[in-house]
């Protein structure tokens, strides 16, 4: 289970199944006790326990520890994983700590990196969700395309007829014009007298020209 130096003393058990590494004892190797462990000597290696591990004021540990609860009054260096870690007066811990509860009393020292196991659980959950996807069984929402509104037809221009436009009808000739135009024997060389209805100047000129053509 381990190697002991010339000054080593066998590990003792207290009542209740506690394993004691006595002062002056050096243990190199792995230790997997069934009960609690108290270290007054020196251990280099690994401790894997489901119970409590405590390091006395003269005790030291270097390596890796997995335990339910750990109390350090002496010196510990390495990697520690536990549910609760307490560093009391004159206790020193160097290394990496993963614990749900971490208490440093006045006079205690800690140098290294610590993380909460609760934070690790949240980080692992977030990593799993990013890999698997949240709500992967649910269909992805897709926005339906809305039809584009049809352009409204432009209104046709409204043309308003004015009284100034010429309607294309023949000029109105009165009965006097007909008598003048039909009496070739009575023509004395003078311009015939033409009576016009009241109209616009442009229409009047057109009618004069038309009467002159008929007279000739």
How many other C-beta atoms are found inside a 10 Å radius of the C-beta of residue 8?
17
Angle at 64 between CA 114 and CA 126, to 5 degrees: 45
Q: For 36-45, 110-119, 188-197, which range has the lowest pLDDT when averaged over its residues?
A: 188-197
Q: For 70-74, 114-118, 194-198, 207-211, which range has the lowest pLDDT when averaged over its residues?
A: 194-198
Is the predicted pLDDT of residue 190 greater than 50, yes or no? yes
Of residues 28, 39, 20, the one with CA closest to residue 4: 28
CA dist 54 and 37 (Å) reads: 6
Assessment of whether the complete model's pTM goes beyond 0.85: no
Query: Average pLDDT in the 2-14 region?
Result: 41
The better pLDDT of the pair 3, 69 is held by 69
> Who contacts 172 (Cβ-Cβ below 8 Å, separation ≥6)?
196, 197, 207
The better pLDDT of the pair 172, 83 is held by 83
Phi and psi at 153, nearest 5°, equal: -65, 140
Is the predicted pLDDT of residue 177 greater than 60, yes or no? no
Is the predicted pLDDT of residue 113 greater than 70, yes or no? yes
Query: Average pLDDT in the 24-51 region?
Result: 93
Is the predicted pLDDT of residue 36 greater than 80, yes or no? yes
Confidence at residue 207, expressed as pLDDT on a 0 to 100 scale: 64
Query: Average pLDDT in the 76-99 region?
Result: 96
Is the predicted pLDDT of residue 206 greater than 50, yes or no? yes
């Amino acid at each position: 289970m381990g190697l002991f130096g010339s000054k080593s003393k066998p590990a003792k058990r207290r009542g209740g199944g506690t394993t004691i590494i006595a002062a002056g004892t050096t243990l190199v190797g792995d230790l997997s006790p069934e009960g609690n462990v108290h270290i007054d000597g020196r251990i280099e290696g690994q401790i894997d326990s489901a119970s409590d591990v405590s390091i006395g004021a003269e005790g030291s540990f270097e390596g890796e520890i997995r335990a339910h609860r750990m109390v350090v009054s002496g010196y510990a260096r390495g990697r520690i994983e536990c549910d609760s870690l307490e560093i009391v007066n004159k206790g020193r811990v160097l290394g990496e700590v993963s614990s749900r509860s971490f208490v440093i009393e006045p006079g205690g020292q800690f140098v290294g990196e610590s993380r909460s196991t609760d934070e690790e659980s949240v980080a692992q959950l977030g990593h799993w969700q990013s890999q698997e996807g949240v709500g992967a069984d649910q269909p992805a929402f897709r926005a339906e395309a809305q039809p584009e509104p049809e352009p409204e037809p432009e209104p046709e221009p409204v043309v308003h007829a004015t009284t100034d436009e010429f309607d294309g009808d023949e000029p109105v000739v009165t009965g006097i014009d007909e008598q003048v135009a039909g009496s070739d024997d009575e023509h004395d060389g003078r311009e015939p007298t033409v009576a016009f209805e009241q109209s616009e100047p442009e229409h009047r000129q057109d009618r004069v020209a038309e009467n002159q053509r008929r007279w000739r």
